[in-house]
Amino acid sequence: MHLGLAAVVVSDYDEAIEFFVGALGFELAEDSPDFSTHTGAPKRWVVVRPPGAITGLLLARAAGAEQEAVIGRQVDGRVGFFLHVDDFDASYRRMSGAGVRFLTRPRDEDYGRVAVFLDIAGNKWDLIGPGQP
């Protein structure tokens, strides 16, 4: 058993793809434009995932005011996503250079090195890597 996908509600597919692929370094696993919602409205099926990962993110464009209201607040302001990397410092530098907005400076915790950043929609993520020797 494994978790296949988790959805992130976004306002624009292409901007979200650029962020997750370009800024975070994820892979575009699928981009299929010929889908429709349960109401028949057109949509794309867009999946991104970290290189080598099984679990991916479904980038789901908001449909209507109710879904637009949760963009960036999917976990009500808490950190809701956790990106583990092998080289924290290199990832932090690359992501910062790509325009990723970090809310905290890197800090060392018992579980490793961590910094909080925002995704394209405004959701909070932890970037987590091994602790400093």
Domain 5-68 in CATH 3.10.180.10? The answer is yes
Q: Please say whether the dihedral angle defined by the alpha carbons of residues 46, 48, 53 and 56, taken in this order, is positive or negative.
A: negative
- Which CATH number fits the domain 79-129, given the four candidates 3.30.720.110, 3.30.450.40, 3.30.1490.190, 3.30.70.240? 3.30.720.110
Tens digit of each residue's pLDDT (9 = 90 or more) over 81-123: 999 999 999 999 999 999 999 999 999 999 999 999 999 999 9
- CATH topology identical between 5-68 and 79-129: no
Closest to 29 (Cα-Cα) out of 50, 11, 6, 47: 47
Question: What is the chain's mean pLDDT, rounded?
Answer: 93
CB neighbourhood size of 19 (10 A): 22
For the residues of 93-130, what is the DSSP string, one character each?
HHHHHTT--BSS--EEETTEEEEEEE-TTS-EEEEEEP
Ordered by start, the domain boundaries in the chain are: 5-68, 79-129
What pLDDT is recorded for position 132? 73
Tokens 């370094």 found at:
25
- What is the pLDDT confidence band of residue 34, given thresholds at 50, 70 and 90? confident
The pLDDT value recorded for residue 133 is 67
pLDDT of residue 49: 97
Give mean pLDDT, residues 11-38.
91
Tokens, residue 18 = 């650029």
Residues 78, 125: contact at Cβ < 8 Å? Answer: no
pTM of the model: 0.90
pLDDT class of 42 with cuts at 50, 70, 90: confident
